[in-house]
Structure 1
Amino acid sequence: MPKFLIQATYTPEGTKGLLKEGASGRRAAVDQVVTGLGGQVEAMYFAFGEDDIVLIVDFPDPVSMAAVSLTVKAGGALHTRATPLLTLDEIDEAARRQVAFRAPGT
């Protein structure tokens, strides 16, 4: 399954919700959304600094990740970034592929 790194920052309204229901309540909500689309939460951490939450999730396909991303962003309680994560084998395969490319100006 494709794996994604999700980094999120709460808006003021989202922070109020976190304070009201706690971290375990948010984890339950995340689990429900991810498993509802056939995915799995590998790790979820709360942080402080630029990001408030960091997750690693597996989804059956990138479209499932996009569906979650759109729905969460539309809710307005979080600003999120999702980064596809590739295995070492996937990068090795990519490195073996021939790509025809001409740099600008050459």
Structure 2
Amino acid sequence: MPLYLSRFRYTPETWARLIANPEDRRNAARTYIESVGGTLHGFWYAFGPQDGLTLWEAPDDVSMAAVALAIGSGGAVTDLETTVLLSVEETLAALRTARGITYRPPGA
């Protein structure tokens, strides 16, 4: 199954709710991804432009998109970005396939 890295920021209101009532959000995240047949591999908070990161495994892009849409529509997070991760083997296969593609730069 494909792996996905999500980065997000909580709204100030979300942080205020978490300060008033601290909650382990890994359990919620696990429920969301498991509802589409996936797995939560990690959930971290961070300093910097993002407040948190999650590593998910989902059956396909549509399933992951559904989870991201559901989370994003809830209003608790902003700047939710999800990146599909490729294994080294998948990248090597893409490189081999790229050898057979003739690219023409714009205007050339």
Partners in 1 of 2:22 and 2:91 — Cα distance?
38
Amino acid at match of 1:101: Y
| CA apart distance, 1:35 | 0.9
Partners in 2 of 1:39 and 1:21 — Cα distance?
28
Partners in 2 of 1:11 and 1:66 — Cα distance?
21
Q: What's the TM-score, normalizing by structure 2?
A: 0.89
Aligned to 1:5, what secondary structure does the other structure show?
Answer: strand
For the aligned residues, what is the CA RMSD? 1.3
Q: What's the TM-score, normalizing by structure 1?
A: 0.91
Structure-1 residue corresponding to 2:92:
92
Structure-2 residue corresponding to 1:9:
9
Amino acid at match of 1:69: A
Amino acid at match of 1:60: P
Aligned to 2:22, what secondary structure does the other structure show?
Answer: helix
Identity %: 36
| CA apart distance, 1:27 | 1.1
| CA apart distance, 1:23 | 4.4
Alignment of 1:1-106 (within 5 A): 1-24=1-24, 26-79=25-78, 80-97=80-97, 98-106=100-108
Partners in 1 of 2:16 and 2:59 — Cα distance?
32
| CA apart distance, 1:19 | 2.3
- Structure 1 stretches of 4+ moved >6 Å: none
Aligned residues: 105
| CA apart distance, 1:5 | 0.6
Partners in 1 of 2:71 and 2:32 — Cα distance?
10
